[in-house]
Amino acid sequence: MTLENIIELDKKYYMNTFGGRTKVCFERGEGIYLYDVSGKKYVDFFSGIAVNSLGHCHPKVVNAVCEQVKKLMHCSNLYYIKNQALLAQMICKNSVCDRVFFTNSGAEANEGAIKLARAYFKKKGMPQKYEFVCLDKSFHGRTLTTATATGQDKYKEPYTPLTPGFKHVPINDMEALENAVNENTCAILLEVVQGESGVHPITKEYAQFARELCDKHGIFLIIDEVQTGIGRTGKLFAYETVGIEPDIFTLAKALGNGFPIGAICAKEEAAKGFQPGDHGTTFGGNPLACAAALASLSTIIEEDMPRKAEEMGKYLRDKIEGLNLDCISEIRNVGLMFAIEFKEPIAADVKNKMFEKGYLIGSVGANALRILPPLIITESDVDGFVDTLYNVLN
Ligand SMILES: *Cc1c(COP(=O)(O)O)cnc(C)c1O
């Protein structure tokens, strides 16, 4: 089947939510490389949007998935599931949470976290506490409620009326945050580094202020770690980079290194919000997804990938800065989450030229590139990327 045949079928039968996609179809991957249906090789500096942190088809993940497929893919949550119990333990032992619930995506994890916070206060006899304070330019997913939580109008316009109870305030504005919290608030929900809108980190001071504000009001701090989690920011979880502990945090993207799985992670007190019957899922936490995540997470931890993300992040940043290019106005990064901001609206052009040269990256808005390489990249991978970027920008 040629690429043209595939595009034809897509045009005819697929719901057009992704618009004009990049004209390529990948057939296989290995490490940081992808190969398209004609055999052309690409270097992946976007990781399927922060998913394939261990690169494509990591042997440990492939092996775990293949072995589990042969044994059991699915069984209902009416029964005990070994991999689910082991994965929940692994997440709790390596984070500040005490309990975990598994989902199939990031949006589902955030939706569940929002339900958990609301259910908690309702059970405490405070049903008026159902409001959330979120940040402008945030991204929390595409379900109706997580789109409502998202601080970008473009994702909500077709869907009004939205879920009630969501307020948005500008990032790193402590006064605005304090003013937005009132007796009806049940939680502050935020990303430590806003990924989708272009790598905008909150400051340590702001994170600590948010934590103190939540403590003062007896409400929850929910951190969306769907993109930042599992090592990308230089720590296993991004909340560690700003020195705070959330009451609830969510995971997805890199958790299964490409196999769909998400998680709602909560401290013991917050986890009390869910009692038997309050929440559920058919597929979430199935033996196969948990096998993929067990292999991914254990490899990330054993191979000290967060430290590598930190080191390679520094190396990549130094390299780009070393180019001394006039067209770049700002580089933003936390670990291996990068945005390169240009003075002119050339981002789409640069992205396309990089694609022609075999590099996959993203863009955000007209002026910025977004780069999310696998955490396994080496200095020579970075050198190759930066050389190519330099050529394109010249
Ligand atoms: C990608 C993302 C989501 C949504 O995850 P899906 O798996 O696409 O539902 C939520 N929050 C953040 C911060 C994300 O980056």
Q: Given the CA of residue 260, which atom of ligand 1 is nearest to it? A: 7
Domains along the sequence of the chain with CATH = 1-18+26-44 (no CATH), 60-302 (3.40.640.10)
Average pLDDT, the chain: 98
Q: From ligand 1's centre to the CA of 141, what distance in Å?
A: 5
How large is the average pLDDT for residues 318-325?
Answer: 97
Q: How far is the CA of 225 from the centre of ligand 1 (A)?
A: 9
Residue pair 177/209 in contact by the 8 Å Cβ criterion: yes
> Per the structure block, which two tokens stand in for 306?
């967060």
pLDDT of residue 249: 99
Residue 257: Cβ-neighbour burial (10 angstroms; 0-12, 13-18, 19+): buried
**Close Cβ partners of 6 (under 8 Å, ≥ 6 residues apart):** 25, 37
In the reported structure, the alpha carbon of residue 253 is separated from the centroid of ligand 1 by a whole-number distance in angstroms of 7
Atom of ligand 1 nearest to the CA of 105: 7
Q: Strand, coil or helix: what is 198?
A: coil
For residue 388, the model assigns a pLDDT of 98
pLDDT band at residue 129 using 50, 70 and 90 as cut-offs: very high
From the CA of 194, give the closest atom in ligand 1: 13
pLDDT in tens, 181-234: 999 999 999 999 999 999 999 999 999 999 999 999 999 999 999 999 999 999
* Residues marked as catalytic: 139, 224, 253
Counting atoms of ligand 1 from 1, which one is nearest the CA of 262? 7
Protein residues whose CB sits closer than 6 Å to any atom of ligand 1:
105-107, 110, 139-141, 191, 195-196, 224, 226-227, 252-253
What pairs with residue 169 in β-bridges? Answer: 135
CA 38 to ligand 1 center in whole angstroms: 31
Tokens of residue 193, six digits: 């580094």
pLDDT bracket for residue 253 (50, 70, 90): very high
Query: Could you tell me if 359 and 43 are in contact, meaning their C-beta atoms sit under 8 angstroms apart?
Result: yes
Task: Supply the pTM of this predicted model.
Answer: 0.98
Q: What is the dihedral of CA 118, 120, 126, 128, to 10 degrees?
A: 0
pLDDT at 144: 98
- Residue 204 has a pLDDT of 98
Could you give the CA distance from residue 135 to residue 151 in angstroms, rounded to a whole number?
Answer: 6
Helix (H, G, I), strand (E, B) or coil at 193: strand
Q: Which atom of ligand 1 is nearest to the CA of 108?
A: 9
Q: Which residue of 145, 148, 194, 196 sits with most ligand 1 atoms within 8 Å of its CB, as the best mutation to test the pocket? A: 196
Please list the residues that pair with 370 across neighbouring strands: 339, 362
Which whole number is the average pLDDT over 360-372? 97
**Rounded distance between C-alpha atoms, residue 339 and residue 344, angstroms:** 15
For residue 228, the ligand 1 atom closest to its alpha carbon is 13
Atom 11, ligand 1: residue with shortest CA distance: 140
CA-nearest residue, atom 5 of ligand 1: 106
Quick check: helix, strand or coil at residue 292? helix
Distance 325 CA to ligand 1 centre (A): 32
Distance (Å, rounded) from C-alpha 59 to C-alpha 76?
A: 28
DSSP string, 230-281: TTTTSSSSGGGGGT---SEEEE-GGGGTTS--EEEEE-HHHHTT--TTS---
Q: For ligand 1, atom 10, which residue shows the shortest CA distance? A: 140
Instruction: Kindly report, residue by residue over 17-37, the tens digit of the pLDDT.
Output: 998 899 999 999 999 999 999
Q: Whose CA is nearest to atom 8 of ligand 1?
A: 106
Q: Which of 144, 192, 226, 364 to mutate to test the pocket of ligand 1 (most atoms within 8 A of CB)?
A: 226
Q: Whose CA is nearest to atom 15 of ligand 1?
A: 227
Q: Of the residues 49, 137, 140, 259, which should be mutated to test ligand 1's pocket, given the most ligand atoms within 8 Å of the CB?
A: 140
Interval between CA 107 and ligand 1 midpoint (Å): 6
**Segment 291-319, tens digit of pLDDT:** 999 999 999 999 999 999 999 999 999 99
| CA 108 to ligand 1 centroid distance, Å | 9
